[in-house]
């Protein structure tokens, strides 16, 4: 989703801004732009639709020098993908603005500003920020005050950086609902929506808090809270372990990330699990007391993370004997819900910045949950900072928009949470032993599972000309079927739906024909016989099936049913193992279809607007 980079320095900052934008490309965007203030008092602005490279080429051709600058990758919300809608937006050749988020009252503001004589040159909500700030400057305020007065007029979400041609020594930034981080350099300072953008220039960051407005010059950062009071915010040394790096010889980041799963799952288990079970305090010191009291878990997430939460519900109820609710964050935040006694709120997120998940956490704080835990992949992210407890997955930077390694590390984390809560709620020694054995075997089992990749490549050929597909699973494999369907639609653009196979008769059977491949996830568990009956129902109606199964499940392949054997594993880790072949299937289908695998159309990696 939209990305922001800004800099105030003594040197020309255009390369820093462009490098920052490249590092944010993975988030998904459709146009890019840059504006710099030079010493002659002009605004050098260039914008392009398409990839950041188009902008880089334009800068090489036209030049855009300047020691103070802002840059942006836009993911269209208000107004189509055009150069005139790309950021930065300007007002009266004086103010330039980049913005993430949505100004919800932009129509009212637009009317008011138009009546005051401002000409709009885009269809965006963002342009109202530029003109509002300009109008406040005209009333005699300095840039900082003008921004403070302006944000008081905005409803909605914003992370915004504003500069004034008449004062090139500074930028003013404001955060409400969309993250912003200030990077501290020596005699130069930077701003970004994601610390990843600034890692080549600094590792010292200040994460702005909700309602903060800050004035950033080369030597000074002045921060004011939502009441306009000066505040000090902590300086944090970035713990982001490694950079996105390159593709390490893989054709796409997604394939690299699929193959990293054995390693990152091993990293997620490291120093947390020994041969007896969980090591002490892995959820933090205060967790010991809290987890002992938990009687209900409410999980909130979006997208792939939601599927991890759905799987966790099966585990928490089956093994840890606590009731568990799971809800999509955008639903949870807008309905009245009932909080159970001794209820733990668990948010789950790769990025830690998903707007709806963050809003749900903030809402939950007022609802009376006993405590909040986030399972998250990005240290220092908003969810980590705002939750009572944080458990970090160690997936490393995930660049592919379609989440892969983040998901399997989230599931690994949830199995550990199941052990921790189950310990106080009658987890049986057999179940504990099975989960611990399963977790210890997991990295090796994932490696073994990746070896079936070639067979899946062949299979993908049969999907490439299909328009629809159906994924079936039962029990804790139902969310895995959902995740498989999500992966396929995200990167191959084939319509994919997932059903708990017991639901087949209640509708989807009507869709079955030989043009609709049916993908079945079938480990050898207690629901196998029921699943086999569902498979027969599909076969009887001429469906073509692709069954991912344990070899002991005894599926016999024929012309209507391809069987792909998946390594045998402990039941508790089967959802994690069966995820891999479905990821690979989507990847190879997308490859054949020639889609943009790492940055699929219309999608964003980190959804920072609701
Ligand atoms: C976007 C991404 C998905 C991700 C979802 C939730 O839609 O494209 O891959 O699962 O956001 O993101 P989170 O960072 O909260 O896990």
Tokens of 461: 């050929």
pTM equals 0.84
Confirm if 222 and 215 have CB atoms less than 8 A apart. Answer: yes
> Residue 594: CB partners within 8 Å, gap ≥ 6?
none
Which pLDDT value is given to residue 39? 74
Which pLDDT value is given to residue 602? 87
Phi, psi (5° rounding) for residue 158? -155, 140
Burial of 142 (0-12, 13-18, 19+ CB in 10 A): middle
Please tell me if the CB atom of residue 357 comes closer than 6 angstroms to any atom of ligand 1.
yes
pLDDT tens string 280-314: 889 998 899 999 999 999 999 999 999 999 999 99
Measured at the alpha carbon of residue 196, what is the angle toward residues 256 and 258, in degrees to the nearest 5?
15
- Fold held by 3-237: 3.60.20
Measured at the alpha carbon of residue 531, what is the angle toward residues 527 and 536, in degrees to the nearest 5?
155
The residue to mutate among 26, 28, 193, 354, having the most atoms of ligand 1 within 8 angstroms of its beta carbon, is: 354
CA–centroid distance, residue 406 to ligand 1 (Å)? 10
Q: List the residue whose alpha carbon is closest to atom 2 of ligand 1.
A: 605
Q: List the residue whose alpha carbon is closest to atom 1 of ligand 1.
A: 605
Q: How far apart are CA 172 and CA 166, in angstroms?
A: 13
Please tell me if the CB atom of residue 603 comes closer than 6 angstroms to any atom of ligand 1.
yes
Mean pLDDT of all residues in 179-199: 94
pLDDT tens string 330-373: 999 999 999 999 999 999 999 999 999 999 999 999 999 999 99
The residue to mutate among 1, 258, 299, 303, having the most atoms of ligand 1 within 8 angstroms of its beta carbon, is: 303
Of the listed ranges 129-143, 413-427, 552-566, the least confidently predicted one is 552-566
> Do the domains spanning 3-237 and 451-600 agree at the CATH topology level?
no
Which pLDDT value is given to residue 210? 92
Q: How far apart are CA 315 and CA 439, in angstroms?
A: 14
Please tell me if the CB atom of residue 350 comes closer than 6 angstroms to any atom of ligand 1.
yes
Catalytic residue among 22, 394, 487, 605: 605
Which pLDDT value is given to residue 402? 96
Which pLDDT value is given to residue 396? 93
Q: Which atom of ligand 1 is nearest to the CA of 603?
A: 8
CA–centroid distance, residue 305 to ligand 1 (Å)? 7
Please tell me if the CB atom of residue 354 comes closer than 6 angstroms to any atom of ligand 1.
yes
CA–centroid distance, residue 303 to ligand 1 (Å)? 5
Confidence label for 244 from pLDDT (cuts 50, 70 and 90): low
H-type alpha helices, 355-452? 355-365, 382-386, 405-422, 429-450
Confirm if 164 and 153 have CB atoms less than 8 A apart. Answer: no
Please tell me if the CB atom of residue 401 comes closer than 6 angstroms to any atom of ligand 1.
yes
pLDDT tens string 587-605: 999 999 999 999 899 898 8
CA dihedral angle for residue 529, residue 531, residue 535, residue 541, rounded to 10 degrees:
110
Q: How far apart are CA 56 and CA 172, in angstroms?
A: 25
CA–centroid distance, residue 54 to ligand 1 (Å)? 27
User: Under CATH, which architecture does the 248-427 domain have?
Assistant: 3-Layer(aba) Sandwich (3.40)
Please tell me if the CB atom of residue 607 comes closer than 6 angstroms to any atom of ligand 1.
yes
Please tell me if the CB atom of residue 347 comes closer than 6 angstroms to any atom of ligand 1.
no
Which pLDDT value is given to residue 241? 58
pLDDT tens string 191-215: 999 998 999 999 999 999 999 999 9
> 541 pLDDT exceeds 90?
no
Distances (CA, A) of 99 to 107, 217, 241: 17, 19, 28
Domain 451-600 classification at class level? alpha beta
CA–centroid distance, residue 588 to ligand 1 (Å)? 21
> 399 pLDDT exceeds 80?
yes
Q: How far apart are CA 573 and CA 551, in angstroms?
A: 16
> 243 pLDDT exceeds 80?
no
Q: Where are the domains of the chain?
A: 3-237, 248-427, 451-600
Which pLDDT value is given to residue 245? 64
Q: Which atom of ligand 1 is nearest to the CA of 406?
A: 16
Please tell me if the CB atom of residue 349 comes closer than 6 angstroms to any atom of ligand 1.
yes
Mean pLDDT of the chain: 94
Q: How far apart are CA 11 and CA 587, in angstroms?
A: 43
Please tell me if the CB atom of residue 351 comes closer than 6 angstroms to any atom of ligand 1.
yes
> 487 pLDDT exceeds 70?
yes
Mean pLDDT of all residues in 429-435: 97
Name 500's bridge partners: 473
Would you call 605 a catalytic residue per the annotation? yes
Which pLDDT value is given to residue 56? 97
> 239 pLDDT exceeds 80?
no
Q: In what order do the strands lie in the sheet with 181-184?
A: 43-49, 31-37, 68-74, 3-8, 189-192, 181-184, 204-207, 236-237
Q: List the residue whose alpha carbon is closest to atom 4 of ligand 1.
A: 303
Which pLDDT value is given to residue 238? 85
The percent of residues above 90 in pLDDT, for the chain, comes to 81
> 190 pLDDT exceeds 80?
yes
């Amino acid at each position: 989703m939209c990305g922001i980079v800004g800099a105030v320095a003594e040197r020309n900052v255009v390369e820093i801004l462009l490098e920052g934008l490249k590092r944010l490309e993975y988030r998904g965007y459709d146009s890019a732009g840059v504006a710099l203030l030079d010493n002659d008092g002009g605004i050098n602005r260039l914008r392009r639709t398409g990839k950041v490279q188009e902008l880089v080429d334009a800068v090489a051709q036209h030049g855009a020098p300047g020691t103070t600058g802002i840059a942006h990758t836009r993911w269209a919300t208000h107004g189509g993908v055009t150069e005139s809608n790309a950021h930065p937006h300007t007002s009266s050749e004086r103010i330039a603005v980049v913005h993430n988020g949505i100004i919800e009252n932009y129509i009212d503001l637009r009317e008011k500003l138009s009546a005051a004589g401002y000409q709009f040159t885009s269809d965006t909500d963002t342009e109202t920020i530029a003109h509002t700030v300009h109008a406040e400057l005209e009333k005699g305020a300095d840039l900082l005050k003008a921004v403070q007065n302006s944000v008081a007029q905005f409803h909605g979400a914003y992370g915004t950086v504003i500069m004034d041609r008449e004062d090139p020594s500074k930028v003013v930034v404001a955060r409400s609902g969309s993250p912003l981080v200030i990077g501290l350099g020596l005699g130069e300072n930077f701003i970004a929506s994601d610390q990843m953008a600034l890692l080549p220039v600094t590792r010292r960051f200040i994460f702005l808090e909700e309602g903060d407005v800050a004035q950033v010059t080369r030597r000074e950062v002045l921060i004011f809270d939502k009441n306009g009071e000066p505040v000090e915010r902590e300086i944090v040394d970035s713990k982001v372990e490694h950079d996105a790096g390159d593709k390490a010889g893989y054709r796409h980041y997604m394939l690299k990330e699929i193959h990293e799963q054995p390693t990152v799952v091993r990293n997620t288990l490291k120093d947390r699990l020994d041969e007896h079970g969980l090591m002490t305090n892995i959820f933090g010191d205060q967790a010991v007391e809290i987890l002992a009291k938990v009687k209900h878990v409410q999980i909130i997430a979006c997208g792939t993370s939601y599927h991890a939460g759905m799987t966790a519900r099966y585990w928490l109820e089956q093994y840890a004997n606590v009731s568990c609710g799971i809800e999509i964050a955008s639903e949870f935040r807008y309905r009245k819900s009932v909080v159970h006694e001794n209820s733990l709120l668990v948010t789950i997120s790769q990025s830690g910045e998903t707007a709806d998940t963050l809003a749900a956490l903030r809402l939950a704080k007022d609802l009376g949950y006993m405590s909040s835990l986030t399972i998250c992949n990005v240290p220092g992210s908003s969810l980590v900072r705002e939750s009572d407890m944080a458990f970090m997955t160690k997936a490393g930077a995930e660049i592919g928009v379609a989440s892969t390694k983040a998901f399997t590390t989230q599931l690994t984390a949830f199995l550990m949470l199941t052990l921790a809560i189950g310990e106080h709620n009658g987890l049986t020694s057999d179940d504990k032993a099975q989960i611990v054995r399963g977790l210890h075997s997991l990295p090796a089992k994932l490696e073994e599972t990746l070896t079936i990749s070639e067979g899946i490549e062949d299979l993908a050929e049969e999907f490439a000309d299909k328009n629809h597909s159906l994924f079936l699973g039962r029990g804790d494999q139902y969310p895995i079927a959902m995740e498989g369907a999500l992966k396929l639609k995200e990167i191959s653009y084939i319509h994919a739906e997932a059903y708990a196979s017991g639901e087949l008769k209640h509708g989807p059977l009507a869709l079955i024909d030989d043009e609709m491949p049916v993908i079945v996830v079938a480990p050898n568990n207690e629901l196998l016989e029921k699943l086999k009956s569902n498979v027969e129902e599909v076969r009887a109606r001429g469906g073509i099936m692709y069954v991912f199964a344990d070899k002991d499940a005894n599926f016999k392949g024929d012309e209507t049913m391809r069987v792909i054997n998946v390594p045998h594993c402990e039941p508790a880790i089967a959802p994690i193992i069966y995820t891999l072949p479905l990821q690979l299937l989507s990847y190879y289908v997308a490859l054949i279809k020639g889609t943009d695998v790492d940055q699929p159309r219309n999608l964003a990696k980190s959804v920072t607007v609701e």
